[in-house]
Structure 1
């Protein structure tokens, strides 16, 4: 998440015969991160927010600028075109980096593909077309979907096959439809943040909902397919879209800000990992007296959120491979903090009955 603020997602699963019998998911990170942004002058907060969060720092800075400006603070908003171009470059870089770090161990790139990754990450604002094509992620790549993929034998195609294998499970374990976190939810999220503060930011929820943030939530055309292959396909589609240059213009809808009341501003940014929310409140002297941040990882890794639901559908060939499979599944949801996975075998039937009746 950041070199200054540690955090992790703790995942504990009970496994038997390759199936997840029970699981708990909890996102642990320091509470009150926004409090670190209240002492400095408002004009300095966007830069500080970008430094606090090593991942998606451009999105964090953009959200801070938008929220503070909406609250009425004197901050430089910058050139919108430059901001959206920076957000697009960040999206491509974060998607590619997350794929390498989260899935590269399971599906390693060849030497040539690894060189192509380095070439793209060196200048994500001007991604090298040839390097992306070598990865199967070029701007002319076919549309991605659960059944569609990249050019045969490319790294992207091999990754898609791996993700599809994670989806293999019993026929009655239908993943359903993704519950996308969108701009339509901003008012409810802002109200809950203002009411519950860091408690809601640490464990967000909406009544009767299990919202998901990220590429699949943004890909409205694929919301009826919520498996790992669909999530990876949505990520790859966004890489190709940035490579085509189509997201810079579309990116004008990636930032939304609103003044909720005098001195109270709210902003939402579609960061690479999903919808990011900031709330800024000023005192009568124009100083920041309250600041709240809600990251998309908290939605995806909520105790009963989309990852927890996917985890309970996971099937592995053998119990020994369960931890690696869980780590790979988590990588498809792209958390902004490390995951700590523990796997336990199911207790013997006699002990299970004792536990049930205890």
Structure 2
């Protein structure tokens, strides 16, 4: 069985002078899961998932297992659901930190010890299917809070960063380089969209997951969408600096949730749906947005159909939120303008690498 596929997004920004006339996106090639796993026992896929999904592997594990249970007509116990939600939250926190420090601040080693401390402490809380002893949980959270504090991130949902730290400088460096009109009516993916999405996913397969839509609407998902659902934010604020600050605030918010343990987080962090005999689906709110899995099983719990839809397919859709955010924008001259575009692309946090090219529209 070969698991090779092109795991990169190609983005071409077409310029008319200093204005972005259009944006062309060539999506990644996603693994054909039904072709790879048809006829195999559903349980046998769990060890394979981390090889397919190196990022957000816990979210994929939880989504697949929850979808299989729904297809089988089973319902996870509340304690099991709670463990899965906690594991997803821990992974979300570490993936958001990865996005902050791998790439944007990769050459700055100041925070390396603190980042390692978060990753090591988080590893103690990964158990999606095994209970973590309360004392171990408390100690791990104390370590995470201390490490975040060392990075300059407050221990509660707060965008205020300690001055003089690399994160504060990175946020300050995002301002004033890309001028664009805000989206007139931004659209965000919600739990209310789950059933429409998973029904289409099972019915249409890759034809839908490669270019999804909701009655022609291509909503945004991820950190900024979660913030917009919780509080009133202006579309004019949705630049790279605001998105970076929202990511930092969410890291602090997730840490506070792990510390309190009993507070609400987001609606539908893990949700599952039975779609008929032998058919089930699940949605997980992971770092980059809402992830969907849908499965169909035969009478012996072997895979007949297995499809997934990742947040990247919404945010990097050819008519999606990234394109809408860039199209019509005016760039600063020289390298500054191109760097501003790269920063905005990075703030949408794709789950794969991306290449970025700039061309004159007449030469495309």
Identify which of 148, 153, 161 aligns with 1:132.
Answer: 148
Partner secondary structure for residue 158 of structure 1: helix
The aligned runs of 1:1-358 (5 Å cut-off) are: 4-30=4-30, 32-72=32-72, 79-104=80-105, 109=108, 111-124=109-122, 125=125, 126=140, 127-140=143-156, 142=158, 144=159, 149-166=160-177, 168-169=178-179, 173-219=181-227, 220=229, 221-225=231-235, 226-246=238-258, 249=262, 250=264, 253-347=268-362
TM-fit CA distance, 1:41: 1.2
Partner secondary structure for residue 27 of structure 2: strand
TM-fit CA distance, 1:345: 3.1
d(CA) in 1 for partners of 2:336 and 2:326?
14
| Deviations 1:84-123, CA, capped at 9 Å, x for gaps | 2211110111001111224225xx54x4323322222232
CA contact (8 A) 1:179 1:212 kept: yes
d(CA) in 2 for partners of 1:29 and 1:205?
18
TM-fit CA distance, 1:248: 5.2
TM-score by length of 2: 0.83
TM-fit CA distance, 1:190: 1.7
CA contact (8 A) 1:256 1:268 kept: yes
Q: Higher mean Cα deviation, 70-79 or 25-34?
A: 70-79
TM-score by length of 1: 0.84
| Deviations 1:109-168, CA, capped at 9 Å, x for gaps | 4x43233222222323435323212322231463x3xxxx423333332232233335x4
d(CA) in 2 for partners of 1:156 and 1:212?
25
Matched pairs, number: 336
TM-fit CA distance, 1:177: 4.7
d(CA) in 1 for partners of 2:103 and 2:207?
29
Cα RMSD of the aligned pairs, angstroms, is 2.7
TM-fit CA distance, 1:242: 1.9
d(CA) in 1 for partners of 2:44 and 2:333?
52
Structure 2 gaps, min length 5? 126-139
TM-fit CA distance, 1:185: 0.5
Q: Higher mean Cα deviation, 174-183 or 196-205?
A: 174-183
| Deviations 1:7-59, CA, capped at 9 Å, x for gaps | 11110112354432222123121352343233431122233223310000000
